[in-house]
Structure 1
């Protein structure tokens, strides 16, 4: 499992993040306050409070996928 705090500042950031998340077969959740949404859903992300850091949880068990995912999301980490 991967957990991180991320920031998505622009619409372009959101689009890029969803494209990255969609490459992976495992579940990825984003949590803001009491709301949890699928990280592969642009509409879901727009329902979150984007002014605050967002908690990411990726349900990944494969170490190679975990390392690749962490490298891909590094630029979004708060």
Structure 2
């Protein structure tokens, strides 16, 4: 498992992120504080505090490096 922190501070970024991550056949979780949701769920993402960095957990190591490269515009430092 690999983890990165991402920023989804606009509706457009959330849409782009969900479209990108749904192209991968794997499981991903987003967490903010004690809340953990399925990263492929746009409704779940909007239930999180998007003003803070979110931790993305990637459970498939075979696609992790490719996905992290594709997510460069979203990657940020933890708050």
When normalised by structure 1's length, the TM-score is 0.92
SS across alignment from 1:67: helix
What does the per-residue CA deviation read over 1:17-43, in whole Å, with 9 as the maximum and x for residues that have no partner? Answer: 000110011101000011000110000
SS across alignment from 1:74: coil
When normalised by structure 2's length, the TM-score is 0.91
SS across alignment from 1:76: coil
Gaps of 5+ in 1: none
Aligned twin of 2:32: 32
Counterpart of 2:69 (choices 45, 68, 71) is 71
Distance in 1 of aligned mates of 2:50 and 2:27: 21
Compute the RMSD of aligned alpha carbons: 0.8
Distance in 1 of aligned mates of 2:61 and 2:31: 20
Q: Which runs of 4+ in 1 moved over 6 A?
A: none
Gaps of 5+ in 2: none
SS across alignment from 2:72: helix
